[in-house]
Structure 1
Amino acid sequence: GGEQFDLAILDMQMPGMDGLMLAEEIRKLPSGAKMPLVLLSSMRIRPDDPKFTWASFACYMTKPIKPAHLHEVLVSVISGAQAVEKKTPAATKLDPTLAARLPLRVLVCDDNVINQKVALRLFQQMGYRADVASNGKEALAALDRQSYDLIFMDLMMPEMGGLEATSIIRERQKQRDKFPNYKASIVVIAMTASAMQGDREKCLAVGMEDYISKPVRLEDIRAMVEKWGPVATAGMQEERTTAVETPNTKNQTPEKLQNSSSNASIAPNGHGAAGNGSANGNPNSLTEEIAPPVDMDRLNDFTDGDPEQLRELVTLYLSQTSEQIQKLEAAVAANSVQEVRRLAHSCAGASATCGMRRLVPMLRELEAQGANNKLTTAPGLCKEASQEFNRIRVFLEGKLAEQTELAGKG
């Protein structure tokens, strides 16, 4: 017996039995074999991931979920129609007057040129002129020259990573007589693509305030600026009126590492949003596989619809990634596991940022094999990645050609 249901909505993260385990039990029931299952998760799930395909989920949705969107998806699932990816509404566009309302000095610390360029462009859309550093040492050098209010800090960088750099920043804040630019109200926000469960504790331990997962999204950056900007500026005002302030007292705030943005979840199974290979928005249906190789909406958002900026970003991505793919092939052939890990990590970061849907999971797997010192399927993966990059190149060059043709007609 038991009650009959037409559809089940499962949460991925539940104590005792997660959504995947529950789906397995449901499929064992006579009434559950063909029941439509909708999986909700704070991480992005790749539709062709073998861990999920066997359960035949009708739809995956990434939290937080808007009621109207859930209604649309459920109607589509019940009717048998394909769920349609919802376009990002205009309201998520960045506010060009934000910097005027909330003046901040911003530093972006990331070793990837593509990520730097995209981050700078996002801040420009909010009215900020951010500075960049390519590793922790450069970030410290920048702070030695001037003070900053917000620092967006990558975790994995050459020479000095974000955790070490942040730890040094917090120590120097206690020595204001020696390091005058290291004011108590510096807010450090972690950025990383690995999003492992232990990262949360590590970020907390060194004194970071919050955490966003790569690829970063427009709304994530805006949310962090709006959330932590007032904290930084309030700290500045307090410093002006207080003779002595204990550095880093704000790090006791219960809001630390709340991950207020929808893309900031640290997934308990060890995979973050970027690691699942869906560089675009929420992958709401199993038709993701037939999607174009590039999320053009993402690229257009980053370049604010400016054709010249789009051409510049695409040209830089193709040039950088072509070189990295060649080096990656050589590293795999030489069985250089650490070089494979480094190159795959860098290439995956830029590819995720630019919305390369199917290339990212291949590169993440290569990165994981490098980290595990076992390049078991690396030669085949590398070949697939090279072929996918060629498809990306053809697609993007076609888009640029269309753009040139339209400009000529105009």
Structure 2
Amino acid sequence: MENNKTDQSTRKCQCILLVEDYEVNQKIGQLFLQNAGYRVDIAENGQQAVEAFQQNHYDLILMDIQMPVMDGYEATKKIRNWEGGLRQAQAEFKKVPIIAMTGDTCEANLDAEDYPGIDECIRKPAKWEHVLLVVRKWIDAEYSSSIDKTLKDVVYPSVKRTQENPSPLDMDKAIEEFMGQKEILFGILQDFLNIAAAQVENIRQAVNCSDYGVIVSEAHAIKGGAANLTAYQLADLASDLEKAATEQQTDQSVLLAEKLENEFYHLETFLEPKLRMQ
């Protein structure tokens, strides 16, 4: 069996570009990737990703799809076009794997017109244990076959709160997801509360003036951050609000925005005493 220290040492030479616009998700992704031994650069949007790729060597790109300035699809297209020039100039050229992280359901056929240039999709919310398996599959070719078998058994986490778990956040699961690192988890939870509070206020103001673009953007961001932190009911409401605002359903958007705000304050009340003790 391969020595884990040797494995970690090898990964220190491997660099991943994490393309993610939401600060909380950036911190979570960076934490798990660095703990696995990889070096990590962060781009906040597709334009930054293209610029970073043109200036640096990356072994893999984790690409969010829905981002401001330039989305993940356009960034992937530009990166593949840039690679076309490199392929002509370098005999030993090897294209960088691009893994899309998206809330959409990814088609099995990645050659479909909707996914040009993307090697594999990971549906959000995803366990980072699963993400790391996909990363290793593409970076470490010798493990690809065995990892493929493991990935077939992956079950995506639900974003529904159940009667058996009425809490606004599944703390036990969150601690497990963060490998028992409570201090880091609580720090990220505090960051999320600070950022989401402003986003909830932005949604409230956007609802008042029917600014559906802002509602969609902020709800999408809250959805991803909340799901990654096991605040599943908040993530579920944000997802519903995002859909309603996308379809410009005024009454439904107003109702869901109010429910989202109430659930956020429920989460805030639940977490405040726990965070205060740290």
TM over 0.5: yes
Residue in 1 that maps onto 2:39: 129
* SS of 2:100 mapped into structure 1: strand
Counterpart of 1:214 (choices 113, 119, 124) is 124
Q: CA deviation at 1:163?
A: 0.8
Task: Judge conservation of contact 2:223–2:235 (CA < 8 Å) in 1.
Answer: yes
Alpha-carbon distance in structure 1 between the residues aligned to 2:266 and 2:48: 36
Q: For residue 219 of structure 1, what is the amino acid of its counterpart? A: E
Task: Judge conservation of contact 1:118–1:302 (CA < 8 Å) in 2.
Answer: no
Structure (1 or 2) with the larger CA radius of gyration: 1
Residue in 1 that maps onto 2:266: 391
- Which one has a larger percent helix, Structure 1 or Structure 2? 2
Residue in 1 that maps onto 2:200: 325
Residue in 1 that maps onto 2:55: 145
Task: Judge conservation of contact 1:185–1:233 (CA < 8 Å) in 2.
Answer: no
Q: For residue 287 of structure 1, what is the amino acid of its counterpart? A: Q
Task: Judge conservation of contact 1:97–1:126 (CA < 8 Å) in 2.
Answer: no
Q: CA deviation at 1:201?
A: 5.9
* SS of 1:175 mapped into structure 2: helix
Number of aligned residue pairs: 270
Pairing of 1:205-244 with structure 2 (within 5 A): 205-231=115-141
Counterpart of 1:297 (choices 172, 184, 187) is 172
Distance 1:386 1:105, change over 3 A: same
Q: For residue 251 of structure 2, what is the amino acid of its counterpart? A: T
Alpha-carbon distance in structure 2 between the residues aligned to 1:199 and 1:332: 38
Alpha-carbon distance in structure 1 between the residues aligned to 2:41 and 2:243: 31
Residue in 2 that maps onto 1:277: 159
TM-score (norm: length of structure 2): 0.85
Q: CA deviation at 1:125?
A: 1.7
Distance 1:217 1:166, change over 3 A: same
Counterpart of 1:195 (choices 100, 105, 118) is 105
CA deviations on 1:16-63 (whole Å, 9 max, x unpaired) are xxxxxxxxxxxxxxxxxxxxxxxxxxxxxxxxxxxxxxxxxxxxxxxx
Q: CA deviation at 1:189?
A: 0.3
RMSD: 3.2
Q: CA deviation at 1:298?
A: 4.0
Q: CA deviation at 1:209?
A: 1.0
Alpha-carbon distance in structure 2 between the residues aligned to 1:125 and 1:203: 35
Moved more, 200-209 or 314-323: 200-209
* SS of 1:116 mapped into structure 2: helix
* SS of 1:300 mapped into structure 2: helix
Residue in 2 that maps onto 1:353: 228
Alpha-carbon distance in structure 2 between the residues aligned to 1:118 and 1:232: 27
Residue in 1 that maps onto 2:163: 287
Distance 1:305 1:203, change over 3 A: farther
Give the unaligned 5+ runs of structure 1: 1-94, 235-255, 264-272, 405-410
Distance 1:100 1:298, change over 3 A: farther
Alpha-carbon distance in structure 1 between the residues aligned to 2:266 and 2:167: 10
Q: CA deviation at 1:157?
A: 0.5
Distance 1:368 1:96, change over 3 A: farther
Distance 1:179 1:233, change over 3 A: farther
Distance 1:203 1:113, change over 3 A: farther
Q: CA deviation at 1:119?
A: 0.2
Q: CA deviation at 1:196?
A: 6.2
Alpha-carbon distance in structure 2 between the residues aligned to 1:165 and 1:179: 22
The percent identity for this pair of structures is: 26
Task: Judge conservation of contact 2:87–2:93 (CA < 8 Å) in 1.
Answer: no
Q: Which has the higher contact order (CA 8 A, sep 6+)?
A: 1
Counterpart of 2:65 (choices 151, 155, 158) is 155
Task: Judge conservation of contact 1:335–1:375 (CA < 8 Å) in 2.
Answer: yes
Moved more, 133-142 or 223-232: 223-232
Q: For residue 223 of structure 1, what is the amino acid of its counterpart? A: L
Distance 1:139 1:199, change over 3 A: farther
Distance 1:298 1:109, change over 3 A: farther
Give the unaligned 5+ runs of structure 2: none
Counterpart of 1:113 (choices 13, 16, 23) is 23
Q: CA deviation at 1:153?
A: 0.3
Q: CA deviation at 1:372?
A: 1.3
Residue in 2 that maps onto 1:91: none
TM-score (norm: length of structure 1): 0.59
Mapped pair 1:370 → 2:252: no
Alpha-carbon distance in structure 2 between the residues aligned to 1:354 and 1:346: 13
Task: Judge conservation of contact 1:337–1:374 (CA < 8 Å) in 2.
Answer: no
* SS of 2:168 mapped into structure 1: coil
Residue in 1 that maps onto 2:8: 99
* SS of 2:188 mapped into structure 1: helix
* SS of 1:173 mapped into structure 2: helix
Q: CA deviation at 1:385?
A: 1.0
Distance 1:198 1:296, change over 3 A: same
Distance 1:176 1:201, change over 3 A: closer
Q: For residue 161 of structure 1, what is the amino acid of its counterpart? A: D
